[in-house]
Chain A
Amino acid sequence: MDSALIPKGVKRCPTWQFALWIGAAGAVLLWGVFAMLLCWFKGLNQTNMNDSYGFALWIWADLAVIALGGGAFFTGFLRYIVGKDELKNIINYAVLIGFICYSSALLILAIDIGQPLRGWFIFWHANVHSMLTEVAFCLTCYFGVLTIEYVPLILENRQIDKVPFFHRLGHNMHEIMAVFAATGAFLSFFHQGSLGGVSGVLFGRPFGYREGIFIWPWTFFLFTWSAAACGPCFTILITKITEKITGKKLVKQNVIELLAKISGWMIGTYIIAKIIDTWYWAKVTAPEAGFNLMDFYSNNPFYGIWILVLEIVICGVVPAIILISEKGRKNPAALMTALILAVIGPCVNRWVMVLQVMAMPVLTFDNWVMYYPSWQEVATTILPVAYGVILISLSYRYLPIFPQEQELNPEA
Chain B
Amino acid sequence: MFPFCFEWMWDMSHMVFMGGLWYALTIIGLGMTFCIGKAFYDTFLDKGKDDHHH
Q: Which residues of A contact B (CB under 8 A)?
A: 88, 123-126, 128-129, 133-134, 137-138, 141, 144-145, 148, 152, 164-176, 179-180, 183, 186-187, 190, 403
Contact = CB atoms under 8 A, between A and B. Distances in A.
A165 B39 contact: yes
20 contacts: A88-B54, A126-B1, A128-B18, A134-B17, A137-B20, A141-B24, A148-B31, A152-B53, A164-B46, A166-B39, A168-B39, A168-B48, A170-B53, A171-B51, A172-B35, A172-B38, A176-B31, A176-B35, A183-B27, A183-B28
A169 B17 contact: no
A168 B42 contact: yes
Main secondary structure of the interface of B (DSSP, over half): helix
Main secondary structure of the interface of A (DSSP, over half): helix
Contacts of A180: 28, 31
The listed residue with most A CB atoms (<10 A of its CB), out of B14, B39, B46, B52, is: B39
Contact of B34 (A152, A176, A403): A176
A168 B41 CA distance: 10
Contacts, number: 81
Contacts of A137: 17, 20-21, 24
A124 B54 contact: no
Nearest to A186: B24
Given A125-B1, A165-B43, A179 B14 contact: no
Nearest to A123: B1
Nearest to A141: B24
A186 B14 CA distance: 19
A174 B53 contact: yes
B13 A128 contact: yes
B48 to A, nearest CB: 6
The listed residue with most A CB atoms (<10 A of its CB), out of B34, B35, B43, B46, is: B35
Contacts of A187: 24
Interface string B29-41: 0011011101110
